[in-house]
Structure 1
Amino acid sequence: MAKGSVRKKGKKWYYRFYVEDASGNLVQKECVGTESKSETEKLLRQAMDDYEKKKFVAKAENLTVGQLLDVWAEEELKTGTLSNGTVENYLGTIRNIKKHPLAERKLKNVTSEHLQSFFDLLSFGGVHPDGKERKGYSKDYIHSFSAVMQQSFRFAVFPKQYITFNPMQYIKLRYQTDEVDLFSDEDMDGNVQPISREDYERLLAYLQKKNPAAILPIQIAYYAGLRIGEACGLAWQDVNLEEQCLTIRRSIRYDGSKRKYIIGPTKRKKVRVVDFGDTLVEIFRNARKEQLKNRMQYGELYHTNYYKEVKEKNRVYYEYYCLDRTEEVPTDYKEISFVCLRPDGCLELPTTLGTVCRKVAKTLEGFEGFHFHQLRHTYTSNLLANGAAPKDVQELLGHSDVSTTMNVYAHSTRDAKRKSVRLLDKVVGND
């Protein structure tokens, strides 16, 4: 909003306010008023209102899709109504949209045809503006693009009033269907397969030689079903060895826009309790002893982990920091004792674990396509296969409803399917 004032020169009052020149710089504009101060102040308000209206129209005339996304992100995306993970996901999506020529198009000229072509390219693939040919994206990934575009275009209609209608309302999300080779002799069971006990032992042996620090979070995921961010975010205060349970209250992830690791809530923003057995009790006790030994061996070079509270536009999040004993600790840093540590005391981070898993997938026979989340699948399949109640498994996993547990995991093994169809043999035999 333009700022102004009035002043008297001789018998007359004058009003002045700041406006932007052609270069975007603020310059002062002064106009003659009347001999009455109140009348001159009225003229000032009218002049400023007229200026703002003209400026608004000019801005709306030249606003691009990319600029709209920036305004929406600044004013709406960081209001505290979304989780930190969702905000980061949307910000990453905005960065990707802005790489496309659609982002340079003036908002007033964007049609549903432009938007439909953009989403079809995402869905079915093809030659992108950078000249590279890419395959279509997954349905979940496309939904992120759709959510960002739908919300930002609604925002452009109201409250911003940049445009009078939302062309996104006419968009249909179309998805590529997998083609089936009718004459292939390959077994096309695309479900994620659980890891056998034998393969799990091979994995630990491999990691013992290549990446020992990755073993503990791998074991926690195998025996407790934690997500990668939850395993890395687990602190010793969350581990109750007497009651043999974990309290899962936080997750850690990398924020690309801030270039920092952020500690936030779990995926469902709910604290849950996960019980575990004697095997994991022994694993935790051994890990604690090893960490105390490392602390003595490293001395001043041993690291301590901290978090720092950050408040930003009604959002609160926590940044992760790691300092050795020689470094001065800022007063706003608070210490946290994580479970999954490297020998020098630094946290074993999710990105590091992801890299380890990708290397396993490339180099360890029988682990092609391996990823950390497969351990969570294995945990669930093992529970269900041994008679655990689906509702109990749902609560252990932190799923929003039991159908997610059953749909994603209960039919993930060939053995489960075989047992189901063999029920028919029993019926036929009884006849």
Structure 2
Amino acid sequence: MTGELRFDRRLVAPMLVGSVLNPINSSMLAVALVPIGVAFGVPPSQTAWLVTGLYLATAVGQPVMGRLVDLFGPRPLYLFATSLVGIAGLLGALAPNLGVLIASRVLLGFGTSAAYPAAMSLIRSEADRTGMDTPAVILSSLSIANQVIAVIGPTLGGLLIGLGGWHLIFTINVPLSVICVILGSLWLPRTTRARGAGELDYPGAALFAATLVALMLFLMHPQLSSWYLLVLALVLGTAFVITQLRVMEPFIDLRVLAGNRPLILTYTRQVLAYVGAYSFLYGFTQWLEESRGLKASSAGLLLLPLSLAAVVVTAITGRRAQIRGKLVFGCAFLVFAAVAQLFIGTSTPIWLLAVVGVIAGVPQGLNNLANQTALYQQADPARIGSSAGLLRTCVYVGALISAAANAHFFQHGATTAGLHEMAIFLLIISGLLVLVTSIRLPK
């Protein structure tokens, strides 16, 4: 019997269900921004904070939760965080105004931040126990779950809105939270020993969080009048680096990270890949509703081919641990998607819009799978949780950059001209991704 067959399959269900909480909440909102704006009588510039709030909380929460997983083990963090998801979902469903709704998204961000680092920690522990090198099937299952849910999210969100309004995209978190808590209580091991030693570097974590928040707030409104946020981010970031180099157990071991060039390139690729993915997802979806005149449910259904493309490509390539081919084809299809978006207009046939979605779905399936496998091979096993958390932080840094671009290009509405400007931005990002990928491809 091979080591891969000895993997404790009871762990798979809580890992998969928990890890999809974040992408499903990220992607379902794509078709809900317009209905929520109408319900509260607010413009897109304000509903954008629903996206930003979750991404800020997640970008900060993922490495913090990941480090806590390294220190205390995956079970307690998983159960606590997934419980928060149900509370946040209920708060969002009952929100009387946009401010409370944004608060619920922030809480969702923190609540969904523990499951993925916990899953990567469990995979590493099981791989060590069973003697697996790179458990490609398990890693691909995790990637498939995340990528498929991320791209199915808009379709699911559209169906839920059609059934009962935008409130349902928050309410659905309550049963999902209950499922996670039950599965985690039943099957997550109580005796999994944390790999890290020592205590959480609280000053380092606080400085990291403050730096990231200041930087992301600037990126949301990159104007000369907001220069102080960029300066603040630089000052806080400098203080963060100094403290991390002085403490024995840093929040992020910058010495080790600086010497791990392949891992730095993996993080960079992840940021660029998700700037591209979310720029297309949010830009294309809002344009379908505002300029193409589709209802939220119809826009969600039109994104279904994108979802299917990601499912198929991830399933076909997921059993192989190789990284090089996935990155090359992921880059190429992101370039194709950017070029195709340049030629979209209000008279473009529906079937052709679906084809463009298919093109955009391929890199979403390939890039995340390749970068996740690369991280598993490159990260220090003792810090696999925090390393995985940083990979997810890269996802939401990319998402925040794309949200800033979305707010800029669609500041007067999701027009066709704005969509074409977004396509040029996407082409630049995909070109940078090609450049970074060509520096050094993992074997």
TM-score (normalizing by structure 1): 0.22
Name which one, 1 or 2, has greater alpha-carbon Rg: 1
Larger relative strand fraction = 1
Richer in helix (by share): 2
TM-score (norm 2): 0.21
